[in-house]
Amino acid sequence: MIIYILTVFLFLIGLYGVIAKRNLIKIVIGIALMEYSVNLFLILIGYVRGGTAPILTEGLGQKVFVDPLPQAMVLTAIVIGLATTALLLAIAIRIYKKYGTFDIREIKNLKG
Amino acid sequence: MDLFIPLFVVVPLGGAFLIAIIGSFSRGFGRYFTSIIFAFLTGLCIYFVFRIQGPLVYRVGGWELFEKIPIAIYMVIDGLSLYLLLIINLIGFLSAFYSISYIKKFTAESHYYTLFCLMTAGMNGVVMSGDLFNIYVFLEIAAIASYALVAFEIEKEHLEASFKYQVLGGVSSLFILLSIGFLYWQTSTLNIADVSRMIAVGGKGELVVFSQVILLAGFGLKAAMIPFHAWLPDAHSSAPSPISSMLSGVLIKAIGAYVILRLFFNMFAITHSVAMVITVIGTLSMVVGVLLAIGQWDIKRLLAYHSISQMGYVVLGVGIGMLVLARNGDRAVATLAIAGGLFHLFNHAVFKGLLFLNAGAVEYETGIRDMKKLGGLAAKMPVTTSTSLSASMSISGIPPFNGFFSKLIIIIAAIQAQYYVLSILAVFVSIITLASFLKVQRFTFFNKTGGEWERRGITVREVPFSMCFSMIVLAILCFLLSALIVPSVRDVLLTPAVDVLVRAGEYTTAVLGY
């Protein structure tokens, strides 16, 4: 049970980073942390105590397997996360070139 | 016929791939190829509209049911999906055709068309998917392409808008993934029909409610409903105009509102509390969106705020239908309210798409978006002015145009369901919308004193053919869509979509087949 709570904690730390931090790179790190925590949560859902890799072979008596579906989902989610993080960092670098700073208090042309 | 279903995803994805490769050798390739792709897909949609009977199911990989467990990934086309597919591909075709002239001035033309095809492939995938995780994957394809397109002009404000959009979009995607995780935990399946059956059999109450709440927050952010709207005015006004028209006209519906409708009608059992939350969010968006819009002077920003308000109408109509269904009220009233909401969804795609294309035409010729500096364009740009006038009348609900009929249906349904306050609010918002579009027309086109463009010595003439063509087609559609209230026309297009939502329980049987 404690490990589920720690996952939620990691999610909240990431959310705090996104909301409270003023540096663009730290916001990106916050989003990455949230993503890791969701991935961990998905893996935990599929985990069965004492289970092994779900490979069906003749003659092996092992009957307890972990659920393979969340693992496949997490693989996909990691790839998607890579794309979002890469794009976020690319835009952050472009912003740095235009404004000369990562501080969001100085990057506010748009309002209203 | 169900073998054609994957074409809606495969063709634009393959097109994106081809444009990315061939576009680096020949610049003009993507320009025409994208329009051809979407013309083909629109034709395919119209073919489906006339030939479809009942939901079509395509199982990826051809896996059949195994001991009543759906193994394959399902792609489902029923009335509602087809309705959305038609909107996406039609507006996609017209925006792509408009882009032929508009995007010529940019250097990275083939990248633009690649991203355009990717975004539409993602949206087509979302509305056809019968599987929760697949919805997430396609949604991310559409969203990532749209983040890049918002930043396409790479000036200061575009980058800032794109970053804001990405942060909020990323957080909302993670909320969605988290709630998919919770649902999988409860039901051990991802197929929407199967999840619905498992919840009905005996899902644990609290966790299902918790996942509903996160799901509503995630998709509410994607649909820019009012507590989650902060990114929309920036992102939609910073994108190039054809993309603004895709984002406002289609994207917030396909990956926001549509998924909310699909999941909360067909997957979860309709409860009074959820229906109440959805109605309240819709009403808030409708009222607050229009109040924020009225003070804007940047033409595209004003239009973006109106998107929030008009999506409020859609959600309000559907929410009223949901409330009536939840208290086991008159089904005819629920049908009327949901029909009004879905009708307004199509109408909004058409007139808001057109208004953004008009704003793009004005910006293309004058380079100005501030309404205070414009004026007197009516004599110089007759096509843009007349199409913009018809779109403005449509959005503010003037009788012969489509916007009038859908708003009228929503208001009548609200009165019949005895929500008098909501109907008065809907009329009130419509009046403020009219006022704000009078301002747009007066300051942009009909002001006698020439604006800043005259002083700067810019020669303004009518925009090129491809842009005129898209605007004229959309203006005619603003007029023709009124025909959807005629019963024989309605039965072909609108009634199948409404039936999917009103008879929510039949979706499971229709998809799984037992």
Q: Chain B contacts of A35, Cβ < 8 Å?
A: 170, 174
Residues contacting residue B235 through CB under 8 Å, at least 6 positions apart: B146, B150, B161, B162, B164, B165, B247
Report CB contact under 8 Å: B174, A34: yes
Whole-number Å distance between alpha carbons of B136 and B132: 7
Q: Per the CB < 8 Å rule, is B166 touching A84?
A: yes
Residue A91 is nearest to which of B151, B171, B296, comparing CB atoms? B151
DSSP tag of B79: H
Which one-letter DSSP state was computed for residue B447? -
Is the overall model pTM greater than 0.90, yes or no?
yes
**Percent of chain A having pLDDT more than 90?**
61
* Cβ pair A94:B160 closer than 8 A: no
Percent of chain B at pLDDT > 70 equals 99
Subunit contact B174:A99, Cβ cutoff 8 A: no
ipTM of the modeled complex: 0.94
Lowest mean pLDDT among B263-277, B367-381, B488-502: B367-381
Interface of B with A in 294-313 (CB under 8 A): 295-296, 301
In B413-483, where do the E strands start and end? none
Q: What is the pLDDT of residue A60?
A: 67
Lowest mean pLDDT among A11-20, A96-105, B177-186, B443-452: B443-452
Q: What are the sequence ranges of the domains in chain B?
A: 270-489
Task: Give the DSSP per-residue string, A47-75.
Answer: --TT-B-----TT-----B--HHHHHHHH
Q: Kindly report, residue by residue over B151-162, the tens digit of the pLDDT.
A: 998 888 899 999
List the beta strands (DSSP E) in B272-388.
none
Report pLDDT for B471: 95
pLDDT of residue B66: 81
Q: In a 3-state reduction of DSSP, which class is residue B457? A: coil
Q: How confident is the model at residue B265 (pLDDT cuts 50, 70, 90)?
A: very high
Burial of B163 (0-12, 13-18, 19+ CB in 10 A): buried
Supply φ then ψ for residue B331, to 5 degrees.
Answer: -65, -30
The predicted structure's pLDDT at residue B12: 95
Where residue B204 falls among pLDDT bands split at 50, 70, 90? low
**Contact between chains at A88 and B166 (C-beta distance less than 8 A):** yes
Coil, helix or strand for A103?
Answer: strand
**Chain A residues touching residue B134 (CB < 8 angstroms):** none
Which region among B3-7, B347-351, B377-381 has the lowest average model confidence (pLDDT)? B377-381
- Cβ distance of B181 and A38 shorter than 8 Å: yes
Q: pLDDT-based confidence at B30, cuts 50/70/90?
A: confident
> A86-110: per-residue pLDDT in tens?
999 999 999 999 988 888 888 877 6
Q: What is the mean pLDDT of chain B?
A: 91
pLDDT at B369: 87
Instruction: Show the tokens assigned to B123.
Output: 């949206």
How far B185 CA sits from the closest chain A CA (Å)? 6
Its CATH architecture, for the domain A2-54+61-99, is Orthogonal Bundle (1.10)
Per residue in A32-75, pLDDT (tens digit) is: 999 999 999 999 998 888 887 777 777 666 678 888 899 999 99
Tell me what the mean pLDDT of segment B132-149 comes to: 95
pLDDT score for B42: 96
Sign of CA dihedral B131, B166, B255, B178: positive
